Amino acid sequence: MRRRDRGTAGVRALPWAALVALPLALAGCSGNGQNALHPHSHAARDIASLFWWMTGGAFLGLGLIVGLLVLSWVRRGRRGVPSDPNDPKPGEGFAVKVVVALGVVVPILVMTAIFTIGDVFVMKTTAAPYSRTRTTLTVQAVGVQWYWKFLYPGTRAVTADELHIPVRTPVNLVATTADVIHSFSVPELNRKIDTIPGTKNRIVLYADEVGVYRGRCAEFCGLQHAHMAMTVYVDPPARFRAWLRAQSAPARTPTTALQRRGERVFLDGPCSSCHTIRGTSARGYLGPDLTHLASRRTLAGATIPNRKGYLAGWIMDSQHVKPGNQMPDMDLSGPQLQALLAYLESLK
């Protein structure tokens, strides 16, 4: 951490030390897939380099101010009689020139530069595509309290928590909301965009390389705003196409007796009033689409891993895992739960 101290002249170098320390600090704990300074697209890279240039300038500016204050400290008390009535404003002419030069002229130049580079050039690379010509794929991201739902228009694929896109393909992302304002944010791929009721906002998503990135809801959206994350899987085009085909298909029919019992538990119980499983009579729309639940790696807004134990805990006691979420705790007997888990785990 940066500690600053104007008391002694020796620490004038501290801003520079901090300048060196900052990248180290940023690099230290960066492997979380949502670091704005680990860009993996043209847009995010432009933003990151904009940040580095501006930060360099900021440290220069701060260093200048600290320098002036330290200078005044060094020269403190040099005047024998303070506030000489014959010379109430010593050095005024020079000081005013400094104020005008550094307080008016330099900021105008700096702001013009930031404005031009940031709001003319970088803004173009991060902006939403003007028309469909540049993008080959449209994805709709719907913010719901408290998870992200993704639809692939033109197919039947609906998923939650995870967004799959092909690598090196501009994707037209349409962000909407089912309830309150959320904000779609995948920092390593692009800037964020809010979801406003009644509005369709768009940005372009593009990834340079295959990988897994993390995104979150950035706008406060209620009790479980903290647990409204998502994972973005950037796949090679062939793998993406296969995935999309699989997701568009209806759910697999249960094969074992246990799974069939589980399906009955699902369809006859309260589950189906909120969840959809395509290919069955479950058409609820409040909760996530579970048609291919078992193909996902996380549950509950990318909060817990999709493993049997976690899934069971989530079904029986979701209010403990994510207090205030929309899913009530289920009251199932042991055999019912086992059957339901077997069924859900078969929904590849």
Task: For the segment 190-229, give every residue that binds other proteins (CB under 8 A).
Answer: 191-194, 196-199, 201-202, 214, 216-226
Q: Is 257 in the site for other proteins (CB under 8 A)?
A: no
In angstroms, give the least distance from the CB of 168 to other proteins.
21
Residues 124-163 touching other proteins, rule: CB under 8 A, are: 125-127, 145
Q: Could you tell me the smallest distance in angstroms from the CB atom of residue 329 to other proteins? A: 16
Q: If binding is defined by CB under 8 A, does position 83 make contact with other proteins?
A: yes
Separation between Cα atoms, residue 50 and residue 44, nearest integer Å: 10
Whole-number Å distance between alpha carbons of 124 and 114? 14
CA 8 to chain centre: 42
Residue type, 305: P
Quote the least distance from Cβ 203 to other proteins, whole Å: 9
Binder of other proteins out of 17, 99, 212, 246 (CB under 8 A): 99
Kindly state whether residue 50 participates in binding other proteins, applying the rule CB under 8 A.
yes
Least gap, CB of 224 to other proteins (angstroms): 7
User: Of 13 and 238, which has the nearer Cβ to other proteins?
Assistant: 13
Please report how close the Cβ of residue 306 comes to other proteins at its closest, in angstroms: 15
Neighbours of 98 (CB within 10 A): 12
Under the binding rule (CB under 8 A), the answer on residue 119 touching other proteins is: yes
Helices 334-345 and 257-268 meet at what angle, rounded to 10?
A: 100
Closest by CA position to 193, among listed 220, 169, 175, 215? 175
Distance of closest approach, residue 242 Cβ to other proteins, in angstroms: 28
Reported as half-sphere exposure (CB side, CA atoms, 13 A), residue 46 has a value of: 17
> Is 78 or 133 the residue whose CB approaches other proteins more closely?
78
Cα Rg of the chain, angstroms: 28
Q: Using the rule CB under 8 A, is 37 a contact of other proteins?
A: yes
Residue 143's beta-bridge partner residues? Answer: 148, 177
Spatial separation of the C-alpha atoms in residues 265 and 258, rounded to whole Å: 11
Query: Whole-number minimum distance, CB 300 to other proteins, in Å?
Result: 12
Q: Is 334 in the site for other proteins (CB under 8 A)?
A: no
Q: Which of 16, 92, 134, 308 binds other proteins (CB under 8 A)?
A: 92
Find the binder of other proteins among 9, 17, 20, 71 (CB under 8 A): 71
Residue 61 touches other proteins, criterion: CB under 8 A: yes
Report in angstroms how near the CB of residue 198 gets to other proteins at its nearest: 4
Told to check if 313 binds other proteins by CB under 8 A, we report no
Q: Report helix, strand or coil for 201.
A: strand
**Residue 233 three-state SS:** strand
44 binds other proteins (CB under 8 A): yes
DSSP string of 124-158, one letter each residue: HHHSPPSSTTS-SEEEEEEEETTEEEEE-TTS--E
Rule CB under 8 A: is residue 9 a binding residue for other proteins?
Answer: no
Which of 68, 109, 212, 286 is close enough to bind other proteins by CB under 8 A?
A: 68
Task: Report d(CA 344, CA 263) in Å as an integer.
Answer: 8
Q: Which of 59, 62, 57, 39 is nearest to 49 (CA)?
A: 39
Does 326 sit near other proteins (CB under 8 A)?
A: no
Residues 204/171, Cβ–Cβ less than 8 Å: yes
Q: Is 26 in the site for other proteins (CB under 8 A)?
A: yes
Stretch that binds other proteins, among 2-10, 151-159, 237-245, 252-260 (CB under 8 A): 2-10
C-alpha–C-alpha distance, residues 11 and 5, integer Å: 7
Q: Does 286 bind other proteins (CB under 8 A)?
A: no
User: Is 34 or 336 the residue whose CB approaches other proteins more closely?
Assistant: 34
Burial readout 318-330 (b: 16 or more C-beta within 10 A, e: otherwise): beebbeebebeeb
Question: What's the closest the beta carbon of residue 209 comes to other proteins, in angstroms?
Answer: 19
